[in-house]
Each structure stands twice: as structure tokens, then as C-alpha cells.
């Protein structure tokens, strides 16, 4: 851990551990094996492929047990083969064949493992499986929990008045709750899109035409096979492709997560500024240190950590969306090395969400500070006053309030004296005074 190159695998390893199940090298190897095994079983169910008998229930169970019993030592064996082949997918194929040699009824048919496939047929489906599972198991639940946490704060503080700042200057009052609910509303819209998102799946051989498949079995409806097989993995089948999945799916996902991260970045900065203003207090945790030299400090580190990690995540999501959908002709390998960092982007996103949730759980309202801010800036009632004057047809209403308040030190007494001089119904004047 202390020698880890990435902080995700070192300092923050415990926080992001739930994602390692989906984005580690071991997880990718296992997902490749899952695709190979399910493809082998699917081939055996095609009537025209007479050379491969249908995989029966007992043998299917034994095949799936290879996945169920897959452990780190197995992944290390695959990597040892890769050190010779210099090819990750071929190494997984060879390892799987060795395992299947022990299944007596399947051992004569090992050449149907990875039959007519190119590496990308396996890789893109493996990534699709892993990303779906990570979204369903980790990313979506955490996003929903964060949204509920923000919503709960919004409802709890819904009617608490607070001074607004527009352009950094005192403005018409708002409520703490509404300002929080702005973020949960925005977040929920993106979560809805993330919930319906689906990865695509490419299966079509070396250049996407099923050329090798047709050479061996010209009478098989390979397009129908692809549709059934890819849908069976929970992915959307791609009809026309080059050698690779064009990765528009990862680009779409990156854009959704980028928007989510941008909303959370906005939230992190706003809460940070509310803490700076004294609107929010932070819970003091025994033993924690805020500064190595200033003993009084209670810094908003959770929101700062969230902000920094959201930026890192979005830098990667930006790159995925711009780079992955572009390939030289039918294939180049630059997408492969970039996809290996998908888990890193998810990791920084997840780390940021965890930090933000932790920070939100440590803040409370300082109602006296809220009240003082409003009392110190009675001029913010100017909008309401001039609008009521307009309602009653007072000429130059805006200009009168501008002269009274703009760039001036305004007191409640000064505003009350102004209102007393207005030719308005007494009830209306009383109501305006009540706004101060």
C-alpha cells in the first residue's frame, strides 16, 4: 500500500475497495473468461454446428464452476501465460483450455473456445459486463444515497431564511432548504439517465463482418446469433461495426457521469463557502487536527477533497468521451490502453462522493449567524419594496429604491422612515415593514 503508485491503490484503497471487484486486472480476466465460457455454450446450442455437441447441464455447471472458483492464484496463472504470449486475451484462452481439458466430455472440443473471435469481441463484452455491474452495485446506490442525504437536509432546513449572494453581493433572501434541494433536483435528473443507460456489445470477428464465422458455417444466421448472445449478457447488440465496439456507449456514460460530477462540484464549492460565511458549523472530531500550526482550525477538508477528486474523474471522463469513439480505419490499439483507466475514473468519482457524503454528515446550521447576516443587510428588502410600489402604480419605484440603497449603508430605521412617507394603504406599509 505504501509503495502504490496511485493513491486509489494506496491512501484511499479502503474507500474505493468496492470498485476493485469490477475494475481490477483480476476482475477483467475473470470477465473475459465469462464471455468465453458463455460463448462456447452458446455455440453448442446452434444446430448447424454439428462438430460441437450441445453442452449438457452437468458440463455447463462444471464450466460455470470455473468462474465461481476463480481466485487470485488463477489470475496469476493467466498472467504467467501472458508473460510468454504478450497477449492478454490469448492468455485467458489458453488458461481456459487447460481447465476444460479436465472436463472429459468437453476436452475433444477445445478448439471451439474463442472460435472465430477477435480479442475485441471478448474485451468489449467483458467491459460491458463489468461496467453494468459496477453501476448497479456501487455507483447508482451511492448516487441515490447522496441525493437522499441532500434532500433530507433540504427538507429539514426548508423554511430557514438565509441571505443570498448574487455576484458575491448581498441579494434577496432565500431559504437554506431550497438551496440544498436545487442540487438534489439536478442530481436526480442525471441519476434517472444513469439508471436507464446500457452498454453496447460488439460481436462480429476480425473486422465486424463475421468473415471467419461464415467461412466455417455459411448457413448459420450469425446476425441472429449475435443478437441473442449479446442481449443475453444484458447489452445492446451493435449491428454494423469495424473490428471494435466504437465506444459511443462509454462516451455516453462519461458524459452522464461528467454532468453528475459537475453538479457535485458546484455543491461542494457552495457548501464550502457557506462554511466560510459561518452559515454551517462543522462537527469537531476528537483527535483530528485542522492545521499543523494553527490549533483552532476546523477545515472543510471533505468538500475540498471532493472537489479535487471530481476534477480528476472528469478529466478522465472527458478524455474517454473524446478519444475512445475515434479509431484509425478498422482498428488501432490506442483504445485498449485507455480503457484500462476506466476503473480509475470510477474510483475518483466514488472517492469524491464518499467525501461529500462524509462532509454533509458533519455540518449543522448556525441559526444565529444566519439571523445576523440578514439583520446586517436590510437593503436586500429593496426588491420587494420597489415591486410593491410598482403594484400600486408609484412612478419611478425602482429609481427611488436605487437612490436610497445602491452603494449606501442602509439601516432598518432608514427603510422604515422611507416607507412611512409612501402613499400606500396602511396595511401594505405594515406588511412591508414586516419583511425587515
Where are the CATH 1.10.40.30 domain residues in the chain? 377-433
* C-alpha 172: how far from chain center: 34
Task: Please report the beta strands in 88-199, taking only residues with DSSP state E, as ranges in sequence order.
Answer: 161-166, 169-175
- Identify the pLDDT of residue 293: 77
Q: How far apart are CA 20 and CA 14, in angstroms?
A: 10
- Burial pattern 409-421, b for ≥16 Cβ within 10 A else e, equals ebeeeebeebbee
pLDDT at site 290:
76
Q: Record the cell numbers describing residue 145, joined without a space.
A: 444515497
Give catalytic residues, as residue numbers: 167, 291
- Range(s) within the chain of domains with CATH label 1.20.200.10: 120-367
pLDDT at position 400 is 87
d(CA 35, CA 115): 12
What per-residue confidence (pLDDT) applies to 435? 81
Q: Among candidates 200, 208, 71, 223, which has minimal Cα distance to 127?
A: 200
- Residue ranges of the alpha helices (H) in 165-300? 176-196, 211-216, 222-232, 248-277
Residue 327: its pLDDT value, please? 94
Mapped onto helix, strand or coil, the DSSP state of residue 107 is helix
* Grid cell locating 317: 471522463
Q: How far apart are CA 202 and CA 246, in angstroms?
A: 9
**Entry pTM:** 0.94
Q: What residues in the chain have per-residue pLDDT under 50?
A: none
Nearest in space to 280 (alpha carbons), one of 362, 341, 169: 362
Provide the CATH topology of domain 120-367. Fumarase C; Chain A, domain 2 (1.20.200)
Q: What angle do CA 340, 341, 345 make, to 5 degrees?
A: 150
Return residue ranges of the chain for CATH 1.10.275.10: 15-115
User: Spelled out in words, what is the top-level CATH class assigned to the domain 377-433?
Assistant: mainly alpha
**Locate cell 448574487: which residue?**
166
For 15-115, the fitting CATH number among 1.10.1740.10, 1.10.275.10, 3.40.50.720, 1.10.287.3510 is 1.10.275.10
Per DSSP bridges, beta strands 280-282 and 363-365 are: antiparallel
What pLDDT, on a 0 to 100 scale, did the predictor assign at position 170? 93
Q: Where are the alpha helices (DSSP H) in 45-87?
A: 57-68, 72-85
How far CA 320 is from CA of 155, 170, 331, 334, 357, in Å, comes to 37, 41, 17, 11, 26
Structure confidence at residue 202 (pLDDT): 98
Amino acid at each position: 500500500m505504501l509503495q502504490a503508485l496511485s493513491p486509489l491503490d494506496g491512501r484511499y484503497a479502503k474507500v474505493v475497495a468496492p470498485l476493485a471487484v469490477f475494475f481490477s486486472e483480476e476482475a477483467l480476466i475473470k470477465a473475459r473468461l465469462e464471455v468465453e465460457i458463455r460463448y462456447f455454450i452458446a455455440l453448442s446450442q446452434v444446430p448447424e454446428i454439428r462438430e460441437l455437441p450441445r453442452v449438457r447441464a452437468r458440463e455447463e455447471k462444471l464450466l460455470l464452476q470455473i468462474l465461481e472458483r476463480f481466485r487470485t492464484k488463477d489470475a496469476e496463472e493467466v498472467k504467467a501465460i501472458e508473460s510468454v504470449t504478450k497477449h492478454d486475451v490469448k492468455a485467458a484462452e489458453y488458461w481456459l483450455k487447460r481447465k476444460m481439458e479436465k472436463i472429459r466430455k468437453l476436452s475433444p472440443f477445445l478448439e471451439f473456445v474463442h472460435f472465430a473471435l477477435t480479442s475485441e469481441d471478448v474485451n468489449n463484452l467483458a467491459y460491458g459486463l463489468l461496467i453494468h455491474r459496477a453501476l448497479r452495485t456501487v455507483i447508482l446506490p451511492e448516487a441515490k444515497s447522496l441525493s437522499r442525504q441532500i434532500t433530507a437536509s433540504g427538507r429539514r432546513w426548508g423554511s430557514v431564511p438565509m441571505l443570498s449572494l448574487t455576484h458575491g453581493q448581498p441579494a434577496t433572501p432565500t431559504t437554506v432548504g431550497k438551496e440544498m434541494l436545487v442540487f438534489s433536483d439536478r442530481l436526480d435528473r442525471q441519476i434517472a439517465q444513469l439508471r436507464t443507460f446500457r452498454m453496447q456489445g460488439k460481436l462480429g470477428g476480425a473486422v465486424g463482418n463475421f468473415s471467419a464465422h461464415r467461412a466455417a458455417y455459411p448457413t448459420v444466421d450469425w446476425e441472429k446469433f449475435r443478437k441473442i448472445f449479446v442481449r443475453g449478457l444484458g447489452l445492446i447488440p451493435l449491428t454494423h461495426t469495424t473490428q471494435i465496439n466504437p465506444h459511443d456507449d462509454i462516451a455516453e456514460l462519461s458524459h452522464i457521469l461528467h454532468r453528475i460530477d459537475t453538479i457535485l462540484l458546484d455543491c461542494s464549492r457552495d457548501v464550502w463557502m457557506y462554511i466560510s460565511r459561518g452559515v454551517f458549523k462543522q462537527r469537531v472530531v476528537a483527535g483530528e487536527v485542522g492545521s499543523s500550526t494553527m490549533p483552532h482550525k476546523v477545515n472543510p477538508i471533505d468538500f475540498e477533497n471532493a472537489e479535487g477528486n471530481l476534477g480528476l474523474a472528469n478529466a478522465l471522463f472527458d478524455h474517454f468521451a473524446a478519444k475512445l469513439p475515434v479509431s484509425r480505419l478498422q482498428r488501432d490499439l490506442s483504445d485498449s490502453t485507455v480503457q484500462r483507466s476506466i476503473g480509475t475514473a470510477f474510483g475518483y468519482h466514488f472517492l469524491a462522493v464518499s467525501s461529500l457524503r462524509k462532509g454533509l454528515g458533519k455540518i449543522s446550521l448556525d441559526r444565529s449567524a444566519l439571523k445576523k447576516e440578514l439583520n446586517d443587510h436590510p437593503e436586500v428588502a429593496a426588491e420587494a419594496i420597489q415591486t410593491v410600489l410598482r403594484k400600486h402604480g408609484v412612478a419611478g419605484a425602482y429609481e427611488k429604491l436605487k437612490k436610497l440603497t445602491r452603494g449606501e449603508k442602509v439601516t432598518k430605521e432608514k427603510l422604515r422612515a422611507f416607507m412611512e412617507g409612501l402613499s400606500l394603504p396602511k396595511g401594505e406599509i405594515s406588511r412591508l415593514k414586516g419583511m425587515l
